[in-house]
Amino acid sequence: MSGWLVLDLVPVQPGVQTLVLDSHPSLLIHAIDCKIAGQQAPPLSLTYRVDPFTDYGSSLNISLPAAASTPGQLVHVTVRYTTTDGPAIWWLDSELTCGQSRPLLFTQGHSVCNRSFFPCFDTPAVKSTYTATVRVPDGVTVLMSASRSSFSKLDRVFQFSMEFPVPSYLVALVAGELQHVDVGPRSRVWAEPCLLSCAVKKLGGSVERWLGVAEQLFGAYLWGRCDIVFLPPSFPIVAMENPCLTFIIASILESSEFLLIDVVHEIAHGWFGNAVTNASWEEMWLSEGLATYAQRRITTEAYGEAFTCLETAVRLDALHRQLRLLGDNNPVSKLQVKFEPVVVVLQDYISEFKFQSVVAQDLIDYFLGYFPELKDAAVSQREGLEFERWLSGSGPPLFEPDLSAGVSLTGPVQDLCELWRAGAPPDPQTLSTFDLSAWSTFQIVLFLDRMLDLSPLPREVMSSLSSCYSSVFDGLNAEVQIRWLQMVVRNSFSPELPRVRAFLHKHTSRMYTVPLYDDLVAGVMKCVAVEIFSQTQHRLHPNLRRTLQQILFQTGSSAANQNGPALPVPSSANQNSPALPVPSSANQNSLALSVSSPANQNGPALSVPPSSPSAFTQPTATATASAAAGTTGTIALRDVNVSA
């Protein structure tokens, strides 16, 4: 992508000399100039320097002229640049798409990737509105996470405007052969033509129903549009809550309730995460924790408590499995908070903080403001109210939810697991009382997850499982298939090996390939993995190809994450501070800029006019903290099961 970015900035302090933006080595900066609003003079060319910063980005230091440092003076800074192969930008050749007829492009900004899309204040603490003008070749449709859009057929130009402030990671773009069908008064489904009718059938009128339930619980949906775009299997995660336009992977179309849950979850982010955002990635639970809570409130209203408990049981199992992998003292297990505030508090929380970014203390203070009696020291020691333990303790969550309401659905799963775990194939008579073809996807998945945990299993148990349930395990449902095939690999169950091959030839998504390759390499089937990889690698996304090469050809479990976002580990200096990290004195003046004016509307540019007046005092602070964090080590995302 080639073009230019116009930042509209207003200094809030005198003496600002340098503008520091997050950038990336993959961005080729051609020129930077600035224009003082209201002056006739031509744009002034600026000098700049790109400094190394971390393994996930660099810092772009732009020298500002004296005239640009008057507090209150609007300044337009224009950066001309070209993107190359950066972590935010995923170019798919035709053969990587579902239709295989046209290339497709999508971006994935979460959490610190969009600095390779456009130079920006790449922190969730800073929000801005934006407009974008995108010109594409014939036959390509462009969508963005924007509240308004228009298209001029004559010059193939798409225009977008996001009228509500968003952090940089929520700016997203997808371009390809995309068509749509309206599925509700404010929602449409977008997909490649070959997927569209299936996608529409699966979601039907549900989106508006879920929005309606969510609005009853959490107040008005603030974003206007609630569209959904299905992406090819190369999409690196399951779904992403890009505002107005949820991105979701097409691979889960046949996975029944997984599709439902993921869309409901992304809808819940419309309130928690997108309207009110964690101000620092150290506190991502403010978005993910509350969105997951909201998602479960929505499914309880729409599908009943038993359904929600079943889904929670599946995820809770997965959490414990993840924690066993990470170890109890792993810092990423911190901030797993179980928080059960009443819904009215959450409604007011949204209206108080909407379009802002918050830290944990804001939420806790707000909650305690509602229930002042809980501030009492004696009460705060009570089980469930020890905020400090919640926030800084590591290991599994302190409290697990009561899932007894789901026992009608989870009970049969548990009973069947007991039957199989005895070590020998169960009595056929008893087995016939369990009809898996009538089970929901979550029930089958819960069963398989628990059997996977019991692996290795005796060979006759594997044979028996295979002959009893092959029709259930070998359908189109990828979430079911992946689990069964992991059991096949972990148990070296050779009769089903051809299915592993077929699956890896069909599914090229990170979430389905990486676990299977990991298992193949860990066991005795590394040569099978190498063979499958050599046959399929030309159809894999380059980033995934690199990850798999590392799994296959490097020893040990320390394969680095080539795919961009690493989670910074907070430095101990900042760990106890609920506020944003404090900038180092050296940088304190360099970014005292703020922003307020409408975007430059001229020409095919990507224009990002930030609009939050106090926002721009923050980015240097974040950069400084992250730089410090870099010295304490990072945790590769590949090692952490992250879903957005």
Interface with Zn ion (CB under 5 A) = 288, 291, 644
State the minimum distance, in angstroms, from the CB of residue 626 to Zn ion: 22
Beta strand 104-107 pairing with 127-135:
unpaired
State the minimum distance, in angstroms, from the CB of residue 272 to Zn ion: 9
Which amino acid, residue 539? R
Alpha helices in 245-359 (DSSP H): 257-269, 285-303, 305-326, 343-353
Please pick, among 241, 266, 282, 283, the residue that the annotation labels catalytic. 266
State the minimum distance, in angstroms, from the CB of residue 141 to Zn ion: 26
Nearer to Zn ion by Cβ, of 363 and 644: the residue is 644
Nearer to Zn ion by Cβ, of 288 and 449: the residue is 288
8 A C-beta contact, residue 623 and residue 120: no
CA distances (Å), 538 to each of 80, 250, 505, 509, 532, in order?
A: 33, 20, 11, 14, 11
Phi, psi of 72 (to 5 degrees): 90, -10
Nearer to Zn ion by Cβ, of 119 and 236: the residue is 236
State the minimum distance, in angstroms, from the CB of residue 237 to Zn ion: 10
Nearer to Zn ion by Cβ, of 291 and 457: the residue is 291
Give the DSSP per-residue string, 439-494.
Answer: S-HHHHHHHHHHHHHH-S--HHHHHHHHHHHHHHHTSS-HHHHHHHHHHHHHTT-G
State the minimum distance, in angstroms, from the CB of residue 261 to Zn ion: 11
8 A C-beta contact, residue 196 and residue 151: no
State the minimum distance, in angstroms, from the CB of residue 490 to Zn ion: 29
Nearer to Zn ion by Cβ, of 34 and 240: the residue is 240
CA–CA distance, 518 with 365 (Å, rounded to integer): 44
Nearer to Zn ion by Cβ, of 285 and 439: the residue is 285
CA distances (Å), 573 to each of 285, 570, 638, in order?
A: 20, 8, 26
CA–CA distance, 349 with 357 (Å, rounded to integer): 12
State the minimum distance, in angstroms, from the CB of residue 580 to Zn ion: 22
**Which residue has tokens 């799994």?**
551
| Orientation of helix 510-522 relative to helix 478-490, angle to 10° | 10
8 A C-beta contact, residue 250 and residue 98: yes
Annotation says 266 is catalytic:
yes
Q: What is the CA radius of gyration of the chain?
A: 25
Strands (E), 97-238: 104-107, 127-135, 141-144, 148-152, 157-167, 173-176, 179-184, 187-191, 227-231
Residue 333: in which H helix or E strand, if any? none
State the chain's maximal CA–CA distance in angstroms.
89
Structure-block tokens of residue 113: 């990737």
CA–CA distance, 334 with 328 (Å, rounded to integer): 10
State the minimum distance, in angstroms, from the CB of residue 240 to Zn ion: 8
The CA-based dihedral angle spanning residues 52, 57, 58, 63, taken in that order and rounded to the nearest 10 degrees: -170
256: helix, strand or coil: coil
Nearer to Zn ion by Cβ, of 241 and 362: the residue is 241
Nearer to Zn ion by Cβ, of 405 and 644: the residue is 644
Nearer to Zn ion by Cβ, of 292 and 618: the residue is 292
State the minimum distance, in angstroms, from the CB of residue 74 to Zn ion: 36
CA–CA distance, 538 with 554 (Å, rounded to integer): 20
The residues annotated with a catalytic role in the active site are 266
